[in-house]
Structure formats: C-alpha cells, structure tokens
Amino acid sequence: MKAVWYEKNGAARDVLQIGERPKPSPAAGEVLVRLHASGLNPSDVKARAGATRKIAFPFIIPNSDGAGIIEAVGEGVDPARIGQKVWVYNAQWERACGTSAEYVALPSVLAPALPAGLGFAQGACLGIPVLTAHRCVFAEGSPRGKAVLVTGGAGVVGHYAIQLARWGGARLVACTVSSAAKAEHAWLAGADIVIDYRQENVAEALLKATGGRGIDCVADVDLGANLPEYLPALATEASVTAYASMRQPAVTLPFYQMFRTNLSIRPALVYSLTRATLDRAIADIARWCAETKPIFSIAEQFSLTEAIAAHDCVEAGVKLGHVVLTIE
C-alpha cells in the first residue's frame, strides 16, 4: 500500500518518507479501513518533530484521524460492518500505524459509522478536533442555558466548540480572537459575541455581554496565558476545560480568586478519555450531524504524495481550518 512514514524525529523534509509498505491485516477485534482521507492535526506534526514525544516504534505512519470504508474485519467483529463508511480517531495513539496510508487496521471501536451526508474529507475532521471540542463544552454536563466562552474561536477546535455549544442550548456563546479575519471565521461558526483580545479588555467585554452574570463554561486553548484575562468575568461555580497551555506550560493558579467562586479547572486530552466518555461524545456527534448542518472548515487539501507540504502548512500556523490528505 502507499503510505507516508518516518523512522526518526525531525523536520518533515528530512524524515518523511513516501512509498510502499505492507498492507495490514485486522487482528481480533479490529477492522481494516480503506482510507479515503486523513486529517492532519498539530499534535501529529509535533509528534513527528519530537516536540511532544519521541518515536517509540521502528517507524511511524502519522495521523490519528481519517475516514474511509471497512474492507475486512477481524475475529469477533460483526461481518456486517464490511462496506460501512466510517470515521477514524486515535489511530496512531500508542500505535505505529496511523492514517497517512491507503489502509489502517485498528480496534473496531475507533471506527464509528460516518454520519449520513458527510464526505470522507469531512469525516476526517471529526476525530481529535470535534471530540476535544465536545469534551470542553460538555465535560460538566449540558451547556443548556449557560454562557459559554471559547478562547481561540477561530481555531479548529474552537470553531467546533462554538457550534456544539449552540447545538447544546447555550444561552450565549462568546469567543476571543486576535484579528479581523479570525473574527469573521468565528462569526461564521455562530458566535454571539466575538472579542479581539488584542484590542479589548476581555473580562469587561464578557461582563457586559452577560449583564454582569458572568461566564459559566470555558473551552480554553491556552490556559496559562488566558486564565488571567477572563477570570474576573467567571460566574460562581464556573468550569474551565483546557486542551493546551503552550505559552505557559507551568500554569500559575490564583487560588484564592478561584476559591471565592468555587471554580473548577480540568484538562482535556482525547487520547486518554474513558470508553464511556468517548461513547457519549460519539453519540452526541452523530446527533449533532443529523440535527444541524455542521460547518467543516477545510483550509487545504493535499494528496498523500504531498505530505511534506501538508506538514509544512500545519506548522506555519497561519491557516484557518483543517489540513486534509486525500487518498486516491
């Protein structure tokens, strides 16, 4: 099969190889998916570069997200799944083989049915970004009736967090951005309030938008840097769920400010969520797709043989939306 892989960490142009690898076979409990699209996330390029983890296998086929058709099943998997369109997530987590290839074999539970009406490129967007957004919005239960803040509302995860909060019944969805172009992107996702944190006082803007009641739920892209900006605008018993803290990995927590309002803070990492949590999220995502018209913002599509350019595109950090590999 055609595939992209690397055998050591480093820059994409130095370590990515494109060629033929053996086609996998599904083990017990697994399915073999003929992939038509692969979603490339920041975590994939960071892993390849060695920024988040060192290579732990003789080779790595990168990317955890994708979409395709089940071609074969292993022992214990219902043969009726053969021919089913699916989306794939966590394919390369603690495994050598991800979705930058024509085929991937992985546990059946990591290949849910592709919601009706979605194409393969859209399905390849559902994994890490949408699951992370769901966790941030629903970690403390339904957002119905709550005021929700999404920091980085123009980011890939933020774009879905806005949409999921609206679908979940939030009474207000606010977000922060850093430019006019990003503000427009957030408006298109359905935000009620968009705050340019470089031009406005975030806490003041949030208190004004909520009539002084404050924000109940935060989906945060950079906890250490952002928390001081919105902390004064949080309501009593608010919750913050953060999926990154790149600028300040060692987060300083102002305990007594948090103590005063019974603030809850939790990290969100899709890879280590429990099976029950993932099953609830996948069911919600299926309903969200059935009940609304999700906006999938795909910034660039590359062929499998253009994987180096795709990695460079993600690392450049200027895109608004997904980077997807199409696999013919």
Are 145 and 225 in a shared domain?
Answer: yes
The predicted pLDDT at position 76 comes to 98
pLDDT at residue 318 greater than cutoff 90: no
Domain with residue 88: its CATH number is 3.90.180.10
- Number of folded domains in the chain? 2
Average of pLDDT values for 121-144? 97
Angular region, 94: left φ>0, alpha ψ -120 to 50, beta rest: left
Q: What are phi and psi of 39, to 5 degrees?
A: -90, 130
Confidence of residue 319 (pLDDT cuts 50, 70, 90): confident
Are 120 and 135 in a shared domain?
Answer: no
| Residue ending a domain, choose from 271, 287, 305 | 271
Q: What are phi and psi of 282, to 5 degrees?
A: -65, -40
pLDDT at residue 53 greater than cutoff 90: no
C-alpha distance across the termini of the chain, in Å: 11
Are 104 and 148 in a shared domain?
Answer: no
pLDDT, tens digit, 9 for 90 and up, residues 222-272: 999 999 999 999 999 999 999 999 999 999 999 999 999 999 999 999 999
Are 90 and 212 in a shared domain?
Answer: no
Query: What three-state secondary structure class fits 220?
Result: strand
280 lies in some domain: no
Give the integer Cα–Cα distance in Å for 222 and 224: 6
290 lies in some domain: no
pLDDT at residue 313 greater than cutoff 80: yes
Query: What three-state secondary structure class fits 291?
Result: helix
- pLDDT above 90 as % of the chain: 95
pLDDT, tens digit, 9 for 90 and up, residues 61-98: 999 999 999 999 999 999 999 999 999 999 999 999 99
The predicted pLDDT at position 56 comes to 87
278 lies in some domain: no
Are 144 and 221 in a shared domain?
Answer: yes
The predicted pLDDT at position 51 comes to 77
The token duo for 252 is 């300083």
Angular region, 109: left φ>0, alpha ψ -120 to 50, beta rest: alpha
Are 86 and 164 in a shared domain?
Answer: no
pLDDT, tens digit, 9 for 90 and up, residues 149-160: 999 999 999 999
184 lies in some domain: yes
Are 24 and 144 in a shared domain?
Answer: no
The predicted pLDDT at position 249 comes to 92
The domain containing residue 322 runs over which residues? 2-125+296-326
264 lies in some domain: yes
166 lies in some domain: yes
286 lies in some domain: no
- pLDDT above 70 as % of the chain: 100
Are 79 and 146 in a shared domain?
Answer: no
